[in-house]
């Protein structure tokens, strides 16, 4: 992950791009990985950890009805998080993460390891659904961050997501 985050920061600086994050189940781990890189202050503008539904509603302006209808862990909530984060941050790239890291909190329809990662660049929004099969909270969080980094890398290198 270190090599990937280092490469991403260098590329973002080279392309004069800025980035912001809204994290839930990863609790700021993505921001931590990026800010561990020298020079990240030139590209990373800010990150928020909106762990509770109230925080998603208050800070990211996710509509209450979206969370009530689809749940905090849903494509719809993730899309709203990334879209509103982008409006607030005015960065080139915005990332949102919501999911169930476990070991409890899962259901039959939304099991532990279910994660949504949203990415917005310009008008384009991509929401990726991942289901990590491991039951270890730390591994789910790290796997989610690695997936987000791969998505960012793909985007800034103009690969298909």
For residue range 41-62, list pLDDT tens digits in order: 999 999 999 999 999 999 999 9
Number of structural domains (the chain) is 1
Residue with tokens 């270890």: 136
Note whether residue 124 is domain-resident: yes
Note whether residue 54 is domain-resident: yes
Task: Walk across the sheet containing 44-49 and list its strands.
Answer: 44-49, 19-23, 93-99, 114-121, 124-131
pLDDT score, position 135:
83
Note whether residue 161 is domain-resident: no
pLDDT tens per residue, range 67-95: 999 999 999 999 999 999 999 999 999 99
Note whether residue 106 is domain-resident: yes
Nearest one of 144, 106, 112, 109 to 128, comparing CA atoms: 144
Note whether residue 102 is domain-resident: yes
Note whether residue 66 is domain-resident: yes
Note whether residue 148 is domain-resident: yes
> Are 119 and 94 a contacting pair, CB within 8 Å?
yes
Residue 12 is part of which domain span? 2-156
pLDDT score, position 112:
96
Measured CA to CA, the distance from residue 115 to residue 3 in angstroms comes to 23
Instruction: Output the domain CATH number for residue 135.
Output: 3.90.950.20
CA angle centred on 90, ends 84 and 95, rounded to 5°: 55
Is the full-model pTM beyond 0.85? Answer: yes
> Are 49 and 28 a contacting pair, CB within 8 Å?
yes
């Amino acid at each position: 992950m270190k090599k990937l985050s280092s490469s991403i920061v260098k590329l973002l600086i080279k392309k004069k791009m800025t980035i912001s994050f809204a994290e839930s189940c990863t609790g700021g781990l993505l921001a931590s990985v990026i800010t561990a890189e020298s020079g990240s202050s030139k590209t990373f503008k800010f990150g928020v950890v909106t762990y509770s539904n109230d925080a998603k509603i208050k800070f990211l302006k996710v509509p209450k009805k979206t969370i009530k209808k689809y749940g905090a862990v849903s494509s719809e909530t993730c899309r709203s998080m990334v879209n509103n984060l982008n409006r607030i941050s005015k960065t080139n790239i915005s990332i949102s993460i919501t999911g169930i890291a476990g070991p409890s909190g899962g259901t039959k329809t939304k099991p532990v390891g279910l994660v949504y990662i949203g990415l917005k660049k310009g008008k384009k929004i991509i929401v990726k659904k991942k289901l990590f099969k491991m039951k270890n909270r730390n591994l789910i969080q790290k796997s989610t961050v690695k997936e987000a980094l791969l998505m960012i890398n793909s985007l800034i290198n103009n690969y298909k997501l």
